[in-house]
Amino acid sequence: MARPVQYNNKVKFEGIPEGYMGEGFMATRFDKLVGMARKNSLWPLPFATSCCGIEFMATMASHYDIARFGSERVGFSPRQCDLLMVMGTIAKKMGPVLRQVYLQMAEPRWVMAVGACASSGGIFDSYSVLQGIDQVIPVDVYVPGCAPRPEAILDGILKIQDLVGNESLRRRHSDRYKDLLAGYGIQ
Ligand code: SF4
């Protein structure tokens, strides 16, 4: 678990992994270092289809300022992003498109379902609406609410950061992960 470290009674480091530190050097575990770099440089891909996307716009603006979490580089090219944020009602016709975007993202990638519609279809229990994006792609974090406030979206980012920072480098090669993807028909 990362914790604040006081160094030389002058400099205080926040969020660095456990390790051994001296004059001009620091030793820690490689996976912790990679986790720290990844969690503080998430590149979100906003897949916004309706009202929850507006809340995300507020989350990006100066008051809530998602840049504080290293996630200000929002991208619309799946190949360069590692956090898929799905916000809004997803029609069944959009399901294959969402899945295609997910498949175009390189590993490691994480997925956040923002709001009731993305998580479960929300109030739209109808023939045309996907009853949760986890029917087509695996989801790491669900953010509840209709619409969730920016604080809730930021809480989701923090939860993703926890996952990213503590994820084993071997997880993506594990049988369990391969089984998870196979459950979605992804090789
Ligand atoms: S959860 Fe509510 S606010 Fe978000 S897209 Fe659905 S209806 Fe709109």
Going by CA atoms, what residue is nearest to atom 8 of ligand 1? 51
User: Is the CB–ligand 1 distance for residue 143 below 6 Å?
Assistant: no
The model's pLDDT over 75-109, given as tens digits with 9 standing for 90+, comes to: 999 999 999 999 999 999 999 999 999 999 999 99
Residue 144 in domain: yes
Whichever domain contains 73, its CATH number is: 3.40.50.12280
Residue 179 in domain: no
Going by CA atoms, what residue is nearest to atom 4 of ligand 1? 52
DSSP the chain: --EEEEETTTEEEEEEPSEEEETTEEEE-HHHHHHHHHHTS--EEEEE-SHHHHHHHHHHSTTT-GGGGT-----S-GGG-SEEEEES--BGGGHHHHHHHHHHSPSS-EEEEEHHHHHH-TT--STTB-S-GGGTS--SEEE--SSPPHHHHHHHHHHHHHHHHH--TTGGGSHHHHHHHHHTT--
Q: How many domains does the chain have?
A: 2
User: Is the CB–ligand 1 distance for residue 116 below 6 Å?
Assistant: yes
Range of the domain at 78: 44-158
Whether 18 and 71 share a structural domain: no
Residue 163 in domain: no
- What distance in Å separates the CA atoms of residue 50 and residue 38, rounded to the nearest whole number? 29
Whether 15 and 60 share a structural domain: no
- What distance in Å separates the CA atoms of residue 57 and residue 34, rounded to the nearest whole number? 29
Place 25 in a pLDDT band, splitting at 50, 70 and 90.
Answer: confident
Q: What is the pTM of this model?
A: 0.90
Which burial class, exposed, middle or buried, applies to 135 when counting CB atoms under 10 A from its CB (0-12, 13-18, 19+)? middle
The model's pLDDT over 102-132, given as tens digits with 9 standing for 90+, comes to: 999 999 999 999 999 999 999 999 999 999 9
Whether 27 and 49 share a structural domain: no
| pLDDT, position 5 | 63
Whether 51 and 135 share a structural domain: yes
Q: Could you identify the atom of ligand 1 that is nearest to the CA of residue 88?
A: 5
Whether 50 and 23 share a structural domain: no
Residue 164 in domain: no
